[in-house]
Amino acid sequence: MTVSRQELLIFTIARLLKECRSVAVGASSPIPGAGALLARHWAERETPSRRLFLTILGSGRLNAMTSGGVELFDMAAQGRIDAFFLGGGQIDGQGNINLVGTGTYPRTDVRWPGSFGSAYLYYLVPKMILFREEHTRRVMVPKVDFISAPGPRNDGVYRPGGPIGLLTNLCWFSFDRIRQRFRLETIHLGHSLEEVRDNTGFEFDVAPDIATTSLPDASTLADIRGPIARQIAEAYPRFVKQVFPDAA
């Protein structure tokens, strides 16, 4: 049974969200969106009376909010968002992310979309999952050029939120908020510890019982390729056409 990279990431994200009751996904995030839909599918199947509150910004039907980012920020401040996803053009070993650009600000060599509300949400959402498919030294850097959203600090600032880990196309890192350091927990099938080290610009710890990232079983794959793909197609038709052509 062949499992694609996207299917593995969707399944891994869904497992990370299993205990959540409220999840929000930002724009341009088809894989996190599909993972959240799978988590909602599991919750409804296991407990029919329970419904995972899910918002995928940019979607018409998969958006439980009425005023987009404004309502998202309000709910995060009220402690009503359990999980959210952030990425970055650069991510460093202290959990800092850069969404602005490379080089010395403001004369950046490359300009990215900008921070939007990343710093605000990073402080408030308790289960912040860093997600970036590209795992290279261009992205995983020793120190970001610009801090759009800072990783946890021992600065006395009240911070109920923060990163729980980093998921890439190679592996899953957990994040130790006390030590302010990533720890490699699992490596995806077909990849190795040496490959992760070679493509990571920051130092990280390695779990003593490091394992291969779990794969979805046949039943879960059928869910991903069927109802989940059809639902996420409303917001991301091109993604579904490319990854799940039979569902499009």
Q: Tell me, what's the pLDDT at 248? A: 60
For residue range 77-124, list pLDDT tens digits in order.
999 999 999 999 999 999 999 999 999 998 899 999 899 899 999 999
Pick the more confident residue, 247 or 243.
Answer: 243
d(CA 87, CA 98): 8
Asked if 132 and 91 touch (Cβ cutoff 8 Å), the reply is yes
If one counts the domains in the chain, the total is: 2
Whole-structure pTM value: 0.96
pLDDT band per the 50, 70, 90 thresholds, residue 51 = confident
Q: Are residues 126 and 182 in the same domain?
A: yes
**Cα dist. 145→89, 108, 112, 140, 151 in Å?**
10, 9, 12, 12, 14
Looking at the fold, whether 82 and 110 belong to one and the same domain comes out as no
Q: What is the mean pLDDT of residues 194-215?
A: 98
Query: pLDDT at residue 154 above 80?
Result: yes
Give the structural domain span for 52.
1-86+217-248
61 & 114 share domain: no
Please state, in angstroms and rounded to a whole number, the distance separating the CA atoms of residues 214 and 126: 24
User: What pLDDT score was predicted for residue 68?
Assistant: 67
47 and 105 together in one domain: no
What pLDDT digit, counting tens, does each position of 170-181 carry?
999 999 999 999
